[in-house]
């Protein structure tokens, strides 16, 4: 029997909840809209409508993937960040709402004049494109180790018609010339310890380990970015990094020991330590 939209959604929500999804209502609605290529309002407007047979097949295929735990963002290939619809792929981290806090704090530190800004480990280009879209007078460079990620970020840039960003591939600062300097450097680097049990739960199981896990209790990449950042920050420039909620003190310690000033930690929307920053006085 071909179920109408409301009954189909109800059934899907039950299946997703049983499979352990933490957001069964949103998951079901997003996947159904993707299968029938309609906005969310359609589901509320036409609850009694039945679908074309091919649309049921398409929805079943999307549901089957979600029921194995695959993140919705990878299934539909898209996630919104800072109101920008971004393409995502399994070789990039899925942008998180908490990372919008890093964008807010960075916007606060970008000087009023036109300047250069760098985003390390850019992935989908989420942070770089959010900053470039807010400040059309600055130039944002995004770097990712993986060429596929840099290419995806570039495709997102072109798709969103954001002219003032560019993407490069290489390890941290390596694609840059030695004397290239920036007013602000931001990064959401890998910072999870390899033994953290949370790596075996939810969406992170499907995300690239290279974007999540760092040696030295998750601090190894933060240390490299901070150390080498001193060469690539202009005098008075700011470094801002996202980190785990228990890493604030350790990251402040790293920045202090490297000679950064005005070192401070800011909290995410849940009130947890999430971003630490420091000023390089040159
Ligand atoms: N905040 C992400 C998580 O805990 C991890 C992001 C990262 O490692 N940069 O799921």
210 to 57, 116, 273: CA distances (angstroms): 35, 27, 23
Whether 168 maps to a domain, the answer reads: yes
The reply to whether 83 falls in a domain is no
- In terms of domains, do 20 and 150 share one? no
* 124 domain residue, yes or no: yes
* 178 and 253 co-located in one domain: yes
> Which residue's CA is the nearest one to ligand 1's atom 5?
212
CATH code, domain with 19 = 1.10.8.10
Domain of residue 253, residue span: 90-280
Q: What is the pLDDT of residue 238?
A: 98
In this structure, the answer to whether residues 22 and 141 fall within a common structural domain is: no
Q: Quote the ligand 1 centre to 190 CA distance (angstroms).
A: 7
Whether residue 84 is contained in a domain is answered as no
Backbone torsion region of residue 87, taken as left when φ is above 0, otherwise alpha when ψ lies between -120 and 50, otherwise beta:
beta
Which residue stretches of the chain are H helix? Answer: 5-18, 24-36, 40-45, 53-67, 72-76, 99-109, 126-134, 147-159, 209-212, 215-218, 220-232, 248-257
Cα-to-centroid distance, 229 and ligand 1 (Å): 21
Question: β-strands 165-169, 233-242: how paired?
Answer: unpaired
Pocket around ligand 1 at a 6 A CB cut-off: 96, 188-192, 204, 212
Question: Residue 218 above 90 pLDDT?
Answer: yes
Would you state the pLDDT for residue 5? Answer: 98
Confidence of residue 1 (pLDDT cuts 50, 70, 90): confident
Q: In angstroms, how far apart are the furthest CA atoms of the chain? A: 71
Q: Classify residue 78: in a domain, yes or no.
A: no
How many domains does the structure of the chain reveal?
A: 2
- At 282 the pLDDT is 82
Question: What confidence category does residue 228 fall into, taking pLDDT thresholds of 50, 70 and 90?
Answer: very high
What are the pLDDT digits (tens) for 21-41?
Answer: 999 999 999 999 999 999 999
Residue 77 resides in a domain: no
Q: Is 48 exposed, middle or buried (0-12, 13-18, 19+ CB in 10 A)?
A: exposed
The pLDDT, as a whole number, for residue 272 is 97
- Among 99, 192, 211, say which to mutate for ligand 1: greatest number of ligand atoms within 8 Å of CB: 192
CATH number at residue 239: 3.40.50.150
pTM score > 0.85 for this model? Answer: yes
Same domain, 35 and 150: no
Rounded to whole angstroms, the Cα distance separating 224 from 52 reads: 54
109-137 residue pLDDT tens: 999 999 999 999 999 999 999 999 999 99
Average pLDDT over the chain, rounded to whole? 97
* pLDDT single digits (tens) 139-183: 999 999 999 999 999 999 999 999 999 999 999 999 999 999 999
């Amino acid at each position: 029997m071909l179920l109408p939209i409301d009954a189909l959604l109800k059934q899907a929500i039950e299946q997703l909840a049983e499979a352990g999804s933490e957001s069964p209502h949103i998951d079901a609605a997003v996947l159904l809209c993707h299968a029938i290529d309609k906005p969310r309002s359609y589901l509320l407007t036409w609850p009694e409508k039945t679908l074309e047979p091919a649309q049921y097949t398409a929805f079943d295929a999307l549901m089957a993937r979600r029921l194995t735990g695959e993140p919705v963002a990878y299934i539909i290939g898209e996630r919104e960040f800072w109101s920008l619809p971004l393409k995502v792929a399994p070789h990039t981290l899925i942008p998180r709402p908490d990372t919008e806090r890093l964008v807010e704090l960075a916007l606060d530190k970008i000087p009023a004049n036109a300047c250069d800004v760098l985003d390390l480990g850019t992935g989908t280009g989420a942070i770089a494109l959010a900053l470039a879209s807010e400040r059309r007078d600055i130039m944002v460079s995004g770097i990712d180790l993986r060429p596929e990620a840099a290419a995806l970020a570039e495709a997102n840039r072109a798709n969103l018609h954001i002219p003032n960003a560019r993407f490069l591939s290489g390890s941290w600062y390596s694609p840059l010339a030695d004397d290239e300097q920036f007013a602000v450097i931001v990064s959401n680097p890998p910072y999870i310890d390899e033994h953290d049990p949370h790596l075996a739960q939810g969406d992170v199981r499907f995300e690239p380990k290279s974007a999540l896990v760092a040696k030295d209790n998750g601090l190894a990449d933060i240390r490299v970015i901070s150390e080498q950042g001193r060469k690539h920050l202009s005098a008075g420039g700011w470094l801002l990094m996202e980190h785990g909620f228990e890493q604030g003190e350790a990251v402040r310690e790293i920045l202090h020991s490297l000679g950064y000033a005005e070192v401070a930690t800011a909290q995410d929307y849940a009130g947890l330590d999430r971003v630490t920053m420091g000023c390089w006085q040159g």
